[in-house]
Amino acid sequence: MLRGLYTSAAGMISQQRKHDTITNNISNLNTPGFKQGNAVSRSFPEMLISLVGKDEGQTEVRQIGRLNTGVFAEEDLSIYVQGDLSETKNPLDMAIISNIQVPGLAFDGAGKAMTPDGQKVFQPQAFFTVLDNEGQERYSRNGKFAVNDTGELVSSEGYRVLGADGQPIVLRDNATGEFISSAKVTPTGQFVDAVNGVPLLDAQGNQIALRISRVDNPNRLVREGNGVYRINAGDEGLVTVAVPNNEVQIRQGFIERSNVDAAQSMVDMNAALRAYETNQKMVQYYDKSLEKAVNEVGRV
């Protein structure tokens, strides 16, 4: 009886975590560059149930079958498919169009492919590279940028956007010290003068360009909130500098919308709620059964 109680309780915890993931997706419907999360549940190891004792003349223990011992929310995987672009006409808004291919593999709509030997491979993704307040490198698809008081290009969180040289991008004229309002960003991420097309240079004389990072296995990224990701120690080799080309492009005056499917999220949330209620009723049933066993059967 207690085994069923534990199984139902595990189901409630799993559905609660799934519900939390879905509500987080819905709350970020309007967050630029947000990638939908997907709670993955897995069953506990199965047990082989055998009959205790043997019948007369029986030489082997008879096996009854396998019993599942519950379920748990194993991980929260993000779906990194491209979100729709929304035009803002703000020159500081930028969106990444990413469709990086791997020779010999064909990725499905969810960004997954199988190698000939049966290994699952996730499609590489491109990200803006920023520095957080502690100077640590972080990654984001939210291209809703602004310029701070020192002329640095910053993200919505105030993180400094890195250029191709690994240094924060500064949009100030080297001669006058004024903010460069006529900056145009090419599809390859380079900054040029919107009037004459002359490349904009930094203090060292190099052309200003965005640093776009390529992450070969985006599911190794760790969410930090607000659409910002970090990489775990030891996984740095998965991140390289992407060369903008036909597979990675920058669109100025656009932002990438969240890829959350609102209708499907509502369906999934209601399904998780119903499954939670079902497990809850089973817990109540086992509780009443235990109460009956203690208060009535125990008296006999």
- Residue listed under structure tokens 């002329």: 151
Long-range contacts of 114-117 (CB under 8 A, 24+ apart): none
User: What confidence category does residue 125 fall into, taking pLDDT thresholds of 50, 70 and 90?
Assistant: very high
Segment 9-23 mean pLDDT: 88
Distance CA 251, CA 84 (A): 12
pLDDT for res 297: 67
Segment 29-44 mean pLDDT: 85
Q: Which of 235, 241, 237 has the alpha carbon at shortest distance from 222?
A: 235
- DSSP class of residue 233 equals T
3-state SS, residue 57: coil
Segment 25-48 mean pLDDT: 82
The count of other CB atoms within 10 Å of the CB of residue 45 is 8
pLDDT for res 211: 94
- Using CB atoms within 10 A of its CB, is residue 41 exposed (0-12), middle (13-18) or buried (19+)? middle
pLDDT of 214 strictly over 90: yes
Please enumerate in sequence order all residues whose Cβ is within 8 A of that of 59, keeping only pairs 6 or more positions apart, or say none: none
Q: Where are the alpha helices (DSSP H) in the chain?
A: 2-27, 262-295
Distance CA 32, CA 12 (A): 32
pLDDT for res 130: 95
* CA distances (Å), origin 38, targets 41, 140, 203, 219, 227: 10, 19, 44, 11, 15
pLDDT of 191 strictly over 60: yes
The count of other CB atoms within 10 Å of the CB of residue 194 is 16
Which pLDDT tens digit goes with each residue over 147-174?
988 889 999 999 999 999 889 999 877 6
**Domain parsing of the chain, residue ranges:** 2-78+261-299, 85-256
pLDDT of 54 strictly over 60: no
Supply 290's token pair.
């235990």
